[in-house]
Amino acid sequence: MSIVSRIFTLLTKIRHKDLSVGQSTRIEPSLIARGGKITLGDNVIVRIGSVLMPAGGKICIGSNTTINHYCVLHGGNSLEVGKNCLIAPRVSLFSSNHSFQSRNIPIREQGMSSKGGIKIGNDVWIGTGAVVLDGVHIGDGAVIGAGSIVTKSIREYDIVVGNPARVIGRREQRLERE
């Protein structure tokens, strides 16, 4: 771990009382916003330029997960990412949305709504530039292709791509490591 990452991780822990950081977790210079709880498991990596914004909710990242460069994680309701996940650069995860029903009130004044947050299982790979929206559950072992917009829940081991994301295959049963 570089000295800059060590210092930034230490300063981030000191400044944020609602931030829980596991052993050997590395936070590169990023925005860790206040206003909710953030839990990072052991050996988590948060790459430079990422934004973790609990927005009154909570963000929980499982052990051995990497959040790559310039990702946006919005925990307005609840955002859970499992263990051993790979989140590629510029991925956006939004666990709430703006309310906009009334034409007489500016959207910014109508508050937020949620369909229950986002839950991402273990061993999930989310490709570069993908967007996952509120109410989505992604099963263990799923793969989300680069640039996909995920608006509905994904079964475990499904491979999805596109806008909106659609299933194009499934991961094969795992072979035992030698």
Catalytic residue positions, numbered: 98
- Measured at the CA of 138, the angle between CA 137 and CA 140, to 5 degrees, comes to 130
Q: Which amino acid is at 100?
A: F
Contact between 42 and 80 under an 8 Å Cβ cutoff? The reply is no
- Lookup: tokens for 3: 């000295």
Q: In whole angstroms, what is the distance from residue 21 CA to residue 44 CA?
A: 9
